[in-house]
Chain A
Amino acid sequence: MKLALSSQLKNRLLPWRDFALCLLIGVVIGVVTISNGFFAQPVHAAPTLDLSLFDDEMNPAIYVDHLSPVVVKEGETFDLEFVLSCAYIDIFPDCSPNGTLFVADAPNGKFTPIQLEEDNQTGLRVFRTTLVAPMKKGQSVEYYLEVFEPQGQVNFRYPSSGTVQVEVVETFAEVLVPQSPEITTGQLILQLPWGNNESSVGLFEHETMIAGPGAFATSTKGEIALQDPVNQRVLLYNQELHTFRSFAVHLSDSGDLEFQADGSLLVANFFGEKTDGEESILPQLYRIKADRGAIERVGPIFARIPFYLTKDASILNRDDSLVKPMDAQGKGRSREAQKNDRGKPPLGIRWLDENHSRFSDPKAGVAIETSSVSPSGFISHFVKTNDGYVIVFRSDVMHVLWLDREGKLLSDTTVKPELYTEWNPYTLVKVTPDGEVWYMSSTQDGGIAIYEITQP
């Protein structure tokens, strides 16, 4: 019985033996066809880099991340570090930028090349060297970096114009930053609820995003200007008359505004918008003239990461240069003009570590080194006032230090702004020429409040 069944099965399967064999042959033919690249994507020629896709200001081909020492002591050794990374890793995944440092030789002013040491700690391509500051006060250390990347054939100089200059000082005014004193609250200047009428500011809550006013400014004439991006306007409050004016303009939560010496108010949108003649979104500058007529567009700001607006119509950019988007007649400047004519901040700051920082005012010959027992936070403000300087350290609190003209600590205070909406430590805190510090708080139910603190 068993034998009969087996023979029956064999007879039934026998005709399919050829089918199975041919199926196998078919698979083999398929594999051979695929492995010969029949279905593969067409092979492209060797990739080339289209450098027109990049520009130094807004979209660099190679990023140079470098923190200048800003100010050093005579004879002091100090490190220079440059982190280089390619923006075109899609085209050349193994791109490997190299840098040669050129340092000014003090006696003859000639620049001497220095080969940098490469270090790939934590996967960052870091190039570094150690220099010694000259033993002569007032003699700065000057350098620039030549960057070359062989695969993309990219060759450029950092900074793109001029050099990096490090001030050399004989000594620092030493300031021991006290432990943050007990938290106080400033004097309430202005409080506005959430809303969209003439005396309120917009609140936008969605997913992880909570947006509200991103910047404010105060004038010596008693005006307070507020960016109200959710309502797409600038609000101008007159403290004496208790009146509001509204100026419709395209804003993001990232921007700044600042009153100028001629009485005008400059308004910057750092996210920006796409305007006629531009291929991409660019930060934009607007102006409300002293007569407080309509708001007008000045033009684009060619700065990749703007920090804040200054009182002389400049914008501090990522590489610590001052971009000037407007000419003397108040007209917008071209990309080339903004690139070729950049300024340098009059004051220098350099955070060394959680407990030490340096500050310099080369024009006044003042150099300050702060040290603290507990972490100080980062430096959000170093401002020259009529009577000296104001330093603002930012951690979970805002620690404000008032110093005299020689850099001696006079007093300090600590406040803790409430932040329901997004923060911006640079544009939601302002220091007046008289040394008053204004800051904005926001709460879920209470709207926004602007406070003023004065030197204790």
Chain B
Amino acid sequence: MIASITGIGWVTAAGMGCGRKSDSFSMPAGNLPKITGTVVFGKPYKHFGRMDEYSRVGLAAIAFALKDAGLEKCKKKRNIGIIASTVYGCLHTDIDFFNTVIPDGGLMASPNLFAYTLPNCFLGEAAIHFGLTGEGFVVNDPSHARLTSLQTALDIISWGETKKMVCGVCDLGRPLIFGQGKKVPPGSLFLVIEKSPESNLSTYGELNLDKDDSISFNKTKIADLTSLVNECIVNKNRK
């Protein structure tokens, strides 16, 4: 066993939530729910409204996952890393930013939008809000299984870099201006995985990285991230 899953959080077109309070999970096509700082953090968070949508959607799922794991509160910074996987990343924000550049030859380029034109910026927002100082980066995973961030996070734990990681996916779907390209459902889904669970909350189950690079959950190979989360929820209900 490399790590246990201790928290799950998401924002999808089917709604937002966390593993312990839900009976199923899906990431369908459609419009994402409106997210506010109050909904996510239980109190107004002024800065949340200034973020781009990609960051809000990603940060919200990370917040739900950490809360689900009982790790949302901290007195000091902690060595917890975050790996996110995405297909289109912050391209919607990129388009919004460049549309502020075009009209006046760059004179009205928006610094606030530019600050969010890197797909890893929301990891920084999560790091700031939750005091997470571990390794953090975004990987680009166009595969159907969407398991790259989980696999990378398990690697990092197995290498001894940290004992806790947050990992998952975040996308807003294919920008309309693209016309063609891979269809990806909008939404975010993050898991908290811990080598030695800190909270008294029960875990969802155990993860292992197999020699053939596949991932096992409670000794059964998993096919994709969505089915893993549904298995976690079923497993929780069995306990």
Do the two chains belong together in a single complex? no
Chain A residues near B (Cβ < 8 Å): none
Chain B residues near A (Cβ < 8 Å): none
